[in-house]
Amino acid sequence: MATFDDGKDKDALRTIGEVAKATGIKAHVLRYWEQQFPTLKPLTRSGGRRYYRPEDVELIERIDRLVNQEGYTLKGAKSALKGTSDPQVAAGEAGVAEAVDEDVLKRLKAIRANLKAALA
């Protein structure tokens, strides 16, 4: 959870600068994520100034974890946040698993051939 050292109440609204500093995510990335994730909608006041609610900050942290720690694409993170499986994402993940399995299988066959030759 982001830690704010500004003396405000934990339920206070935060500016984009405060959220960026607390989470370590640059402001331009937060603005981009607002475009990519429809559920991330901070309050906007006059002049377009953004104010993030505590639930917005939690969502930002979830997106950050999915994208930057677990390796999801933005599309995959959107699907994960919705709790639904995107058929294209699932197909892509299956394709990666098959490619890894084929690579492992080739290596195992090579090891078996080397052992067979060594024992002969």
How many Å apart are CA 75 and CA 43, to the nearest integer? 24
Rounded percentage of the chain residues whose pLDDT exceeds 90:
54
Q: Are residues 15 and 73 in the same domain?
A: yes
Cα angle at 73 between 70 and 76, to 5 degrees?
Answer: 90
Domain residues for 13? 1-84
Per-residue pLDDT, averaged over 18-28, amounts to 94
Same domain, 69 and 49: yes
pLDDT at 39: 92
User: How many domains is the chain built from?
Assistant: 2
Let me know whether 6 and 38 are in one domain.
yes
CATH number for position 54? 1.10.1660.10
Which residue from 62, 75, 61 is spatially nearest to 24, judged by alpha carbons? 61
Higher pLDDT, 97 or 65: 65
Q: Does residue 96 carry a pLDDT above 70?
A: no
Whether 117 and 73 share a structural domain: no
pLDDT value of position 34: 95
pLDDT of residue 82: 85
